[in-house]
Structure 1
């Protein structure tokens, strides 16, 4: 199943989908008899796997949809705003070195402090180009594990937040189905009391609802976005290292 997905897709897209569908997964595991594998079990399992893949793609689309709104509330994309001279997340002397280095790579002049004060949007266009260059050159997870980790963390939280209301709606549907089953007080063909299993699904649904209501928040996405933006900018130091090494060798 997982061989068709890369590490980022599994952790940042598929995992939010699995968490979003947790009550449905619990219902499938507890309310369907698995004592004997029938065609219905195979069909149900296959259908669920396909739905998980579809839901993971849907989670990404919803995450991308809410992203601009989150950035707008933050005053811009963190990898852009943290490059600004007015932002003190990273010290000015360090950012000056990074700006000069990346400017040479993308063949664009560094906006001066006066130019940035006069027109922030022009400076932000340069910082956006810097961020694009950094993302392109830090995709190797082995060379840049911290950037990759923060990127995965941000993608996970963003996509999960995008899926929040869908997950809560699915939760309500599962609870409604369980309530209907309890109303009829039927038993499984295995002879096991349906009430016990349905109660377990209710417990999962309550925990699931609490998690998405109180943990999956916009602020958690913002926090993760800042961490990723900071780590992306700081990765410039590692990208500058080969240039420093070459300069030392040339001097010797």
Structure 2
């Protein structure tokens, strides 16, 4: 458990889980009496971290499924498509330089423009392996802090999108249950503490549902994935600069 609480897991998995389950957590916190020790207090105390942990696990699995669908609908993984000759995200000279750098690293010949013209996905295995090499060699958070931040943003949005429908279904259940209990309490008394708590939970569930419906979208995930992919490919510049520096030192020694 402690091993899993690295910065990426906390911000890209547990934060979405917390955000997606806020109405449920609020319902437990508001409706349970904390003034005295009872069985319900023990259950609520245990349920909160379990709910968040389970949601984080579900978010990751559902987020990965959504990721695959998004890649399929948008024509492929951004870190792959951006290196194609036909893509205009980077200028041709820069892409040639990045491909030439990645070729020896993954021990694979660089695909040609002619191959891609005959088959758009001809070079994708090369770009896929090149992206994997970059991800594996940019794990230094301090050295590649911008890339790490973009990765967290992408993971957060993707996992939150994965929890969108489960969260809305959970909110619907909270709204229905709150309405049923409030209906049974009618007419409502302003001095009724339980009724006021139910109204707070109901309002929170409605506002939260609006946020999940309109603010959490596929487009936001696509944008984040493209920004992260662009930064991942740009990390080639760091390695190229290092190679140039090493070559300069070697020349001076001669």
| TM-score of the two chains, using structure 1 as the length reference | 0.93
3-state DSSP of counterpart to 1:120: coil
Alignment deviations for residues 4-62 of structure 1 (CA, whole Å, 9 cap, x no partner): 41111111111111111111011112111122243421221112211211111011100
Structure 1 Cα separation of the partners of residues 102 and 192 of structure 2: 66
Match of 1:149 in 2: 149
Match of 1:123 in 2: 123
The runs of 4+ residues in structure 1 deviating greater than 4 Å are 1-4
Which 5+ residue runs of structure 1 have no aligned equivalent?
Answer: none
Structure 1 Cα separation of the partners of residues 113 and 4 of structure 2: 48
Match of 1:22 in 2: 22
1:125-204 alignment runs, 5 A limit: 125-185=125-185, 193-204=193-204
Which 5+ residue runs of structure 2 have no aligned equivalent?
Answer: none
3-state DSSP of counterpart to 1:18: helix
- Relative to 1, partners in 2 of residues 1:119 and 1:214: Cα closer, same or farther, differing over 3 Å? same
Structure 2 Cα separation of the partners of residues 51 and 196 of structure 1: 25
Determine if contact 2:34/2:41 at 8 Å carries over to the other structure.
yes
The alignment covers a number of residue pairs equal to 248
Moved more, 19-28 or 30-39: 30-39
3-state DSSP of counterpart to 1:64: helix
Determine if contact 2:32/2:40 at 8 Å carries over to the other structure.
no
Aligned Cα RMSD in Å?
1.7
Moved more, 161-170 or 47-56: 47-56
3-state DSSP of counterpart to 1:175: helix
Q: How far did 1:122 drift?
A: 2.2
Moved more, 41-50 or 68-77: 41-50
Moved more, 105-114 or 43-52: 43-52
Alignment deviations for residues 223-248 of structure 1 (CA, whole Å, 9 cap, x no partner): 11111111110011112222111101
Q: Higher relative contact order at CA 8 Å, sep ≥6: structure 1 or structure 2?
A: 1
Match of 1:216 in 2: 216
Alignment deviations for residues 135-188 of structure 1 (CA, whole Å, 9 cap, x no partner): 1111221111111111111111111111111000000111122112212229xx
3-state DSSP of counterpart to 2:122: helix
Determine if contact 1:23/1:205 at 8 Å carries over to the other structure.
yes
3-state DSSP of counterpart to 2:86: coil
Structure 2 Cα separation of the partners of residues 29 and 161 of structure 1: 25
| TM-score of the two chains, using structure 2 as the length reference | 0.93
1:1-252 alignment runs, 5 A limit: 4-185=4-185, 193-252=193-252
Structure 1 Cα separation of the partners of residues 105 and 158 of structure 2: 30
